[in-house]
């Protein structure tokens, strides 16, 4: 079955340090890939998406993600984390088959320390 894995449940990063959140998917073909962020009590906000072309995609709030087909990964990165980035981050895939629906990873909670 298709699946999305975010191996880190929690990550703590110092403010100003770099960040990488991992995401792997299990699917035979290249899916459409998304990263969302959820602040407490809020809905999900789209950070960035990939479906073709350049494998390094830029998103909002200074985030970027790189699609690596050979590793079935779509890791999210930010060079310098701000305290306001503390939130939960979800990787999601649309398997590009039949109906368009998203399968989400379990999420990674980012904590930012001073």
Cβ neighbours, 10 Å, residue 100: 9
Residue 27 engages other proteins in binding (rule: CB under 8 A): no
Among residues 46, 56, 60, 111, the one that binds other proteins under rule CB under 8 A = 46
103, 51 contact by CB (below 8 A): no
81 versus 107: smaller Cβ distance to other proteins: 107
CB 87 within 8 A of CB 110: yes
Contact 83, 61 (CB under 8 A): no
# residues contacting other proteins (CB under 8 A): 24
Closest to 35 (Cα-Cα) out of 74, 71, 85, 9: 74
**Of residues 85 and 88, the one with the C-beta less far from other proteins:** 88
- Among 87, 90, 110, 112, indicate the residue that binds other proteins (CB under 8 A): 90
Residues that bind other proteins (CB under 8 A): 32, 34, 36, 41-46, 49, 51, 90, 92, 94, 96, 99-107
């Amino acid at each position: 079955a298709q699946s999305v894995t975010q191996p880190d449940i929690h990550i703590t990063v110092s403010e100003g340090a770099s960040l990488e959140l991992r995401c792997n998917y299990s699917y035979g073909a290249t899916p459409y890939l998304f990263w969302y962020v959820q602040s407490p009590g809020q809905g999900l906000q789209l950070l960035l998406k990939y479906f073709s072309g350049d494998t390094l995609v830029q998103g909002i709030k200074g985030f970027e993600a790189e699609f690596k087909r050979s590793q079935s990964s779509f890791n999210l990165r930010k060079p310098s984390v701000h305290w306001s980035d503390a939130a939960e981050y979800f990787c999601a895939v649309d398997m590009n088959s039949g109906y368009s629906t998203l399968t989400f990873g379990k999420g990674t909670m980012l904590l930012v320390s001073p």
